[in-house]
Amino acid sequence: MKALVCETYGSVDDLVYRDMPDPEPGPEEVLVAVKAIGVNFPDGLLVEGKYQARPECPFVPGSEISGEVISLGLGVDQFAMGDRILSLTTSFGAYAEKIVLPVGVIHKIPKSMSYETGAALLAATGTAHHGLRQRGQLKASETLLVLGAAGGTGLAAVQIGKAIGAKVIAACSTEEKLAFAKSQGADEGINYVKQDLKQAIKELTNGLGVDVVYDPVGGDAFDVCSRSMAWNGRLLVVGFASGRIPELPINLTLVKGYSVLGVFWGTFTVKQPDEHAANMRELFQWFEEGKVVPVVDAEFALADGIQAIKYVTGRNVMGKVIIKP
Ligand SMILES: NC(=O)c1ccc[n+]([C@@H]2O[C@H](COP(=O)([O-])OP(=O)(O)OC[C@H]3O[C@@H](n4cnc5c(N)ncnc54)[C@H](OP(=O)(O)O)[C@@H]3O)[C@@H](O)[C@H]2O)c1
C-alpha cells in the first residue's frame, strides 16, 4: 500500500509518499480500506516534533479516517466485511491506503453519510461537542463566543452551539470567514483583526460578557476573552492555533466569577468511553436532522498530503480538509 511517511522530525515538506507493507489485523482488530482522511491542525505539529506525542520515526501521521472493513481479525463479531465506518486511529497511521484498527474505537456510519463527511465529522466535531456539552455545559439561554469560527473545530462549535439553541457569536480574521460562519448558523460576527474584540463583545452582550467562550486560537484573543467573561461564565481552552499559549492572571477568575476549563477530546474518548459513545449517537442524530453537517472545504490526493497539511496550518481552511487515497 501507499502511505505518507515521516522519516525524521522536521518540515512537513520532508514527508515521503512511498510503499509500505499491507498491515494485517490481529485478534479483535479489523483491516480497513481508507476512503477519506480528516486533516487536522495537529498533524503538522506532530511531523515538526511540536506535538505532545512523539512517535518513533519512521511513522505515518494522521488520526481520523473513514473507510470500508475489508478483513476481520480473530474474534471479531461486531463488524462484517463491507461495513462503512469512521474511526480515530489509536497511534496515528491515517495517511495511508489501509489501516488496522481495534474494534473498540470504530463507529459504523449512517447510510446517508458519505465517506468524505464521515472523515470530516470526528475529531473537530467531537471536540466541539465534548467541549460544549461535558465541559462548558452550554444552555439554550446562553451566549457562546467561538474564536477561529470558520476553522475545523470552530465551525463545528458554531453548528453545535446552534443545535443546543444558544446565541452564537463567531470571531474570525476575515470578512469571507465571517460570512461563512454566519452561513453556518452564527447569529453575530466579530472580525477580530479589524474590530476591537473587547468592545465588540461588550456591545453584543449588552455589557454582560460572554457565558461560554470556545477558544482553539489562544494568544491575544484569549487575553481579551479572559477579561470579557460573564458572571458564572466558562472559558474553554481548546488549542493554540495562533502559536502562543497564553498566561492567565488568575485573579480575573475570582473578580469575574468564571471558570477556565481544559478540553482534551482524545483523552476523553479513552477515559469516558460511555459518554463518548453517547456523544457520537447525538452527533449522528444531529447530522440526520441537518443540524451538524461538516463542510468539506478542499479535497487532496494522498500523494498531495503535504499540500493538504499546509492548507490547514496556513490559516486558509473554512471547514475541513480531507485527503482521498
Ligand atoms: N483540545 C482538543 O481536544 C483539540 C482537538 C482538535 C483540535 N484542537 C486544537 O484546536 C486548534 C484548531 O484546530 P482546527 O483543526 O480547528 O484548526 P483550523 O481548522 O486550522 O482552525 C484554526 C483557526 O485558528 C485561527 N488562527 C488564528 N491564528 C492562526 C495562525 N497563526 N495560524 C493558523 N490559524 C490561526 C484561524 O482562524 P482565523 O483566521 O479566523 O483567526 C483558523 O481558522 C489547534 O490548535 C488544534 O491543535 C484541540
Q: Which atom of ligand 1 is nearest to the CA of 242?
A: 28
pTM for this predicted structure: 0.95
Question: Which of 239, 36, 52 is CA-nearest to residue 127?
Answer: 239
Q: Which atom of ligand 1 is nearest to the CA of 317?
A: 19
**What's the pLDDT at 91?**
85
Decide which of 3.90.1150.10, 1.20.140.10, 3.40.50.300, 3.90.180.10 is the CATH code for 2-108+295-324: 3.90.180.10
In one letter, which amino acid is 276? Answer: H
Q: For 124-266, which CATH class?
A: alpha beta
**What's the pLDDT at 205?**
97
User: Domain extents for the chain?
Assistant: 2-108+295-324, 124-266
Determine the distance separating the centroid of ligand 1 and the alpha carbon of 284, expressed in angstroms.
24
**What's the pLDDT at 243?**
93
In one letter, which amino acid is 156? Answer: A
C-alpha–C-alpha distance, residues 113 and 134, integer Å: 25
Determine the distance separating the centroid of ligand 1 and the alpha carbon of 251, expressed in angstroms.
27
* Residue 4: its H or E element: strand 2-5
Q: Which atom of ligand 1 is nearest to the CA of 174?
A: 40
What does the DSSP assignment read for 238-299? ---TTS------THHHHHHT-EEEE--HHHHHHH-HHHHHHHHHHHHHHHHTTSS---EEEE
Q: Which residue has the cell 491542525?
A: 41
**What's the pLDDT at 52?**
84
From 64, 125, 153, mutation site for ligand 1 pocket: most ligand atoms within 8 A of C-beta: 153
Average pLDDT for runs of 10 along the chain of length 325: 97 97 96 98 94 93 97 96 95 96 94 95 96 98 98 97 98 98 98 98 98 98 98 97 96 98 95 95 96 97 97 94 97
* Cis-peptide into 58, omega within 30 deg: yes
* Residue 14, all three cell numbers: 520532508
What does the DSSP assignment read for 29-93? EEEEEEEEEEE-HHHHHHHTT-SS--PPSSB----EEEEEEEEE-TT--S--TT-EEEEE-SSS-
Determine the distance separating the centroid of ligand 1 and the alpha carbon of 276, expressed in angstroms.
22
List ligand 1's pocket residues with C-beta within 6 A.
40-42, 123-124, 127, 148, 150-154, 172-173, 177, 216-217, 238-243, 263-266, 312, 315, 317
